[in-house]
Chain A
């Protein structure tokens, strides 16, 4: 089947199979920032935006993106810079494999709730796993980004 998607601001038409996942679709279009870390929708590595709302692209059919806006980290480089710099400053990008999905979730939170409490922030991001850092350095970066007092 054919779908039309606005991928990172560019309108594209593509031929897909009905069972293709959005994750595989965006990667096949060169958006390699989107990673797969599981088969069960539990890791958050594949987070991207569908019409500006964060979704798990591993469990979203590519067909569902038809006529919609799909945004990956490649499409929000400017917007992501401030938070990415905080992450880098803390050394919170250890292997970096979880970073793109995590950053997309953080930017989505910022839009939905620019001034979250520490609890709201952690709750919102709980589905984004990281095995390297133990989350503490991510937490320090998040506190700086959202202007939250570290506890």
Chain B
């Protein structure tokens, strides 16, 4: 079962692009913008909700250098979504490039393009807009069935099966019940009934949203963009401009981080329409402020939980209801919310009944989107917090309570598309984390100085590996002169290292050196179709396409050699360098010689292509434990140590898996302690720069330690599952419980800032 002879899989291989990136070579979108590209700027709404009564651009057009000013009158009237999802997208079609209505502070009112930034800024000041200011809905708890409607347009398109109802401000809705939830809950000896609030935190990847567009020699539009979803961007731009997809080509260079933000086509349509209308190259990079005010943050959610257990602590029933705030537009609204239930409830086994229901509502806030964890983060914060609260109620160690209830390998999941845990070391992860943090010695807390208490807290997490039956990964292999291969991929390496990881797999499958695998991606004209890099799909789904494709290539090599050697295929073997007769190894042909012969017209040029869709989405699992220090005088919570143990199946690249985990944990720590979203009562986002929206620096994150327990997932390439998302899910509940253990204060919303702790300590 175990793969032991791998030369590359499992090793800490250096990333293929490391040299270029670490020497500062041009690699990212903005490094290639044509010099004559028009600068594109967006004039944005100052109101949370308004109708544009009049817009006069005549003065703006007179500014020297200004090329074009686009308003809602100039754009196609067919609605679309910016969400990068497999077609037909579940997200409603509720967007236009520019609309007569603006639905949040920052919603674009006009697009200005000109020779430089200065003339665009000047022009924007000269655009005269008369607004009819409307009363907004800013609180998502007020949205459902409010008399104010956020999308009243006739051209709105909701998709079947999502529970969308535009007349109720409802982007999506659903309810699933198994068993007699009320009956079972009524009989429980213990009940935790609480609600948990998660804010719309921002991905804050270092490279802002950016794209440029131009017309090529064939009169087609080329979109070069920092995107996780090149093929979806092709469709989205085609929808937005109402032109055929054949007229659009999308190229993805290196990306400076995405974490889901770039799973939405946040900026591409604006330069695209400028190029479409002017035929000139156009470039738009969001400022950091725009990344905050017009990005695509995590969905704000309120998760209400009722968790019931018998007198021994065995969980009997859970009722989980999520209210999600999709903001002004429905990108990823119908889908993120589903994970709050599927990826939380399924960590626990043996429930007699459960209900999972949700409503996703529109508000006059910026549109939410995909952020690493995609709803699972919110659901897991809620359920893991509830489990910790139950443990305290019962006066039982939270780890013991979990040991009694968690899912094990072979168990059927509580709420996970009917799937079972085919590979699962959650129990071992918990055990390991317990050792690493020295739980038994430190739980619940200990004093380090007068008024300084250290405490520990823990949580578990799971995620998926791709979207079952939906995500498609494809790769193609070309065999070239000298016997090197080109591996063409359609998935987006956004710093995740998937180009390297897939090359490691290919090299081991083909029995060659990694140097002999050249990776190429992504260009929608040349790369094979891939749904994109999201939902933790690349290693698991696209990886499997690599394995299949390599098998096909090896067969083709043997077949070609059999023609040349005049020996039947069954009598030949291929060791990666040479095809030879099994009975007489001296009879054979080297790979370079074979290619030379084929290229001289003695056979077919070798090319293989394969795609993969998985019928299942085996979850990676993990456990995490935090040690924090709380200053009881100031309320400051300092992270001291965070330990985590992950089961991602086979670890394909030891370095990259570790760094993914560390990075995800620190984002989770940031969201737990510092990252805050604050609005004025008029709906203006105040935390719109790195001074106000504080992401962790290297001095305020404490120590982070990571370990792995490997399992072997049979449906995955080399036994691998995913890792990219699961790693962000444990810090929030673990830290919240550590703070409780230090102070007796329960925080059910993030972030736990010093001010909040201080205020709560005063009230205590």
A residues within 8 Å of B by Cβ? 31-40, 42-43, 45, 72-74, 77, 80, 84, 87-100, 103, 122-123, 125-139, 151
Contacts and interface: CB of A to CB of B under 8 A. Distances in A.
A91 B698 contact: no
Contacts of A72: 24
A91 B24 contact: no
Most-contacted residue by chain B among A43, A93, A100 (CB, 10 A): A93
Contacts of A42: 689-691
A82 B367 CA distance: 44
Interface in B466-514: 494-497
Given A40-B288, A138-B698, A129 B206 contact: yes
A42 B206 CA distance: 11
B666 A99 contact: no
B31 A32 contact: yes
A88 B695 contact: no
Given A95-B256, A136-B662, A84 B23 contact: yes
Contacts of A96: 17-18, 21-22, 27, 254, 256, 495
A32 B23 CA distance: 10
B284 to A, nearest CB: 14
Interface string B214-225: 000000000000
Given A122-B699, A132-B663, A88 B206 contact: no
Nearest to A123: B699
B291 to A, nearest CB: 9
B655 interface: yes
Given A129-B697, A131-B257, A91 B497 contact: yes
A38 B689 contact: yes
Contacts of A133: 659, 662-663, 666
Interface string B27-52: 11001000000000000000000000
Nearest to A72: B24
Which 10 A/B pairs are nearest by Cβ-Cβ distance? A33-B24, A95-B495, A97-B256, A96-B21, A134-B666, A91-B655, A42-B690, A73-B24, A134-B662, A88-B18
Nearest to A81: B23
Nearest to B22: A84
Nearest to B17: A96
Contacts of B26: 32
B15 A91 contact: yes
7 contacts: A35-B256, A88-B18, A94-B659, A96-B21, A131-B205, A131-B667, A137-B659
B701 A95 contact: no
A80 B23 contact: yes
Contacts of A43: 206, 288, 690
Contacts of B699: 122-123, 126
Given A32-B25, A40-B690, A92-B659, 15 more contacts: A38-B689, A40-B288, A80-B23, A94-B660, A95-B494, A97-B206, A100-B24, A103-B24, A129-B695, A131-B257, A131-B663, A133-B666, A134-B659, A134-B701, A136-B662
Given A38-B690, A96-B27, A122 B288 contact: no
Contacts of B497: 91, 94
B287 interface: yes
B664 interface: yes
Which of A32, A89, A103 has the most B CB atoms < 10 Å from its CB? A32
B28 A97 contact: yes
A33 B730 CA distance: 35
Contacts of B125: none
Interface residues of B, number: 56
Interface centre among B27, B31, B206, B653 (most CB of A within 10 A): B206
Contact of B254 (A31, A95, A123): A95
B370 to A, nearest CB: 16
A70 to B, nearest CB: 14
B206 A135 contact: no
Contact of B21 (A99, A128, A129): A99
Given A35-B206, A126-B698, A93 B22 contact: yes
B698 A37 contact: no
B517 interface: no
Contacts of A132: 205-206, 257, 495, 659, 663
B19 interface: yes
A103 B23 CA distance: 9
Interface in B201-246: 203-208
A88 to B, nearest CB: 4
Contacts of A45: 206
Contacts of B203: 131
A58 B692 CA distance: 18
A93 B18 CA distance: 7
Contacts of A103: 22, 24
Interface in B532-580: none
A57 B287 CA distance: 16
B255 interface: yes
B682 interface: no
Given A32-B31, A97-B256, A129-B690, A134 B21 contact: no
A100 B695 CA distance: 20
Contacts of B698: 122, 125-126, 128, 130, 135, 138-139
A96 B758 CA distance: 38
Given A39-B689, A129-B697, A98 B206 contact: yes
Nearest to A85: B22
A39 to B, nearest CB: 5
B704 interface: yes
Contact of A32 (B24, B204, B259, B696): B24
Which of A74, A91, A127, A138: most chain B Cβ within 10 A?
A91
Contacts of A87: 18, 22
A115 to B, nearest CB: 19
B749 to A, nearest CB: 23
